[in-house]
Chain A
Amino acid sequence: NAGVTQTPKFRVLKTGQSMTLLCAQDMNHEYMYWYRQDPGMGLRLIHYSVGEGTTAKGEVPDGYNVSRLKKQNFLLGLESAAPSQTSVYFCASKPDRSLSTNMNTEAFFGQGTRLTVV
């Protein structure tokens, strides 16, 4: 059971380039989230999804797009990378409490993707 896996772990982009970050979870969770974390700061929610085919904006959605074509995958895209998007990106997944017998609905996080835009 791999949990939440993020690909790639590290990436350096030039300004203006595009890329896609992949998040995959094998826990059959309904909800998935993308966060960014800048040095010394807390996590900020970029986009999230409450189910296959659905996405919604978080706190800092500008400059990012997402897609959830399959339940187990949540993709984060940067169409034209900017230095301000240099950050560590975390993906998370969480079960729908109404579908789970677990009293807690904890979110499970990936190990992060360190992205540098030069």
Chain B
Amino acid sequence: LAKTTQPISMDSYEGQEVNITCSHNNIATNDYITWYQQFPSQGPRFIIQGYKTKVTNEVASLFIPADRKSSTLSLPRVSLSDTAVYYCLVGDHVYSSASKIIFGSGTRLSIRP
């Protein structure tokens, strides 16, 4: 399983764009990149998933460079409710039944008024 490295914490202000970068130098050919969000006292919630280039949904964008050794989660115009822990996961759990879903330590994002 590819190891991921992301900042322990980040701070920003309401209305700003927040970019959280995750490094995964040992990503394998079959690995996908998935981001989850976790609020206090709740289970994680899926945000976005991608394999290469750029993926966008109603919540966020995911940028993946050609070498796929890193990825950036972009949250446009954050609000106080975006304060949460964000996890970057890398693995072939999309197609492989044998793969585990392993979480790292995550990035604790704090949004200020």
Q: Give chain A's interface residues, CB within 8 Å of chain B.
A: 4, 30-31, 33, 35, 41-45, 48, 50-51, 56, 58-59, 90, 92, 94, 96-98, 104-112
Contact = CB atoms under 8 A, between A and B. Distances in A.
Contacts of A92: 43-44, 101
A33 B45 contact: no
A59 B45 CA distance: 21
B45 A105 contact: no
Contacts of B42: 109, 111-112
Interface string B22-53: 00000000000010100001111110010000
A58 B101 CA distance: 9
A106 B101 contact: no
Nearest to A98: B95
B104 interface: yes
Nearest to B96: A97
